[in-house]
Amino acid sequence: MRAGQGTCWGTKGQFADPLYQRYHDEEWGKPLHGDDALFERLCLEAFQSGLSWLTILRKRPAFRAAFAGFSIERVAEFDEADRARLMSDAGIVRNRLKVDAAIANARVARDLDIGLDELLWSFAPAPRPRPRSSADVPAETTESVTLAKELKRIGFRFVGPTTAYALMQATGMVDDHLADCWVDNYRSSTALP
């Protein structure tokens, strides 16, 4: 399959959008590292809850501007004026609980004894063969349940098992590109027969 053919998600409806296809081809499932980069994905997955991912992709530039490039240090310092600014920003999802969670999560991430990258990746399962069809892709796994519990235990908000699994998929901790997808992910390639 060639780039832009949307092997994993099809090419109808929202999946026909070139932005969605680029996301599939260039980002989704590729191993991502860096505390701020992972913080961005954690926040965006939480903001996506109940919405389409395409909505979040379209708003991502505005999210990045509104949340100081998702710098953990900067977002952790956001105050009431920042909350008010975010709640009046039509370019992002204006949900008070999600905005508050992003700020609170930045404070938790800033105060971790280890980096967010190290924490999140410590829950990545061993590489496995790619699923054969979308029916073989779970909404959550034992690892995502465990990750969500740990994140909640240490104070993170808006990170249930499904959100945790979506984060794992998006950042390459798991490779849920379908078996016949052309996109390469070095984590899974060694596990294939």
For residues 169 and 163, what is the distance between their CA atoms, to the nearest angstrom?
Answer: 10
At residue 88, φ and ψ (nearest 5 deg) are: -100, 0
> Active-site residue 182, yes or no?
no
Backbone angle region of 5, left / alpha / beta, with phi > 0 → left and psi within -120 to 50 → alpha: alpha
- DSSP letters spanning 88-128: T-TTS---HHHHHHHHHHHHHHHT-SS-HHHHHHTTPPPP-
> Active-site residue 118, yes or no?
no
Which residues, at least 6 apart from 5, have a Cβ–Cβ distance to it below 8 Å? 11, 21, 182
> Active-site residue 23, yes or no?
yes
- The number of helix segments (H) and strand segments (E) in the chain equals 10, 0
Options 23, 40, 143, 165, the catalytic residue: 23
For residues 163 and 121, what is the distance between their CA atoms, to the nearest angstrom?
Answer: 15
Options 9, 40, 45, 165, the catalytic residue: 45
Options 9, 20, 28, 53, the catalytic residue: 53
Give CA separation, 27 vs 7, 70, 177, 184, in Å.
14, 17, 11, 11
Q: Which residues are known catalytic residues?
A: 23, 45, 53
